Structure 1
Amino acid sequence: MENVRLISAVWLGLALLASTVSIRVAMSVALVEIMVGAVAGNIIGLQLRD
């Protein structure tokens, strides 16, 4: 994935998903974002840009 805007949109979408899930499950948003980030980094293959 070389398109920076696409990667940014995916990360923002995952953050929105994490906040929605945290409301439904009544967990802390930070905990859900950490879990979603771990899944995205390992399964989807998204990486941070330097």
Structure 2
Amino acid sequence: IIDGNEGTVRHLHVVLESLGKLAPEDAVGGVELANSDPSPRVAALARDLLQRP
């Protein structure tokens, strides 16, 4: 069985909800990018991927 990102996110939602750790829909938050490769190319790729719908 191959499960992609959508299945992983669905499962994470269930786990967080069961632990009472799921943030409300209107919660304000952010994303911190971290990578072991410090190159500007990888940083730009990460930013580009986060901006996709």
- What TM-score, normalized to structure 1? 0.36
- What TM-score, normalized to structure 2? 0.34
Of Structure 1 and Structure 2, the greater helix share is in 1
Higher relative contact order (CA 8 A, sep 6+): 1
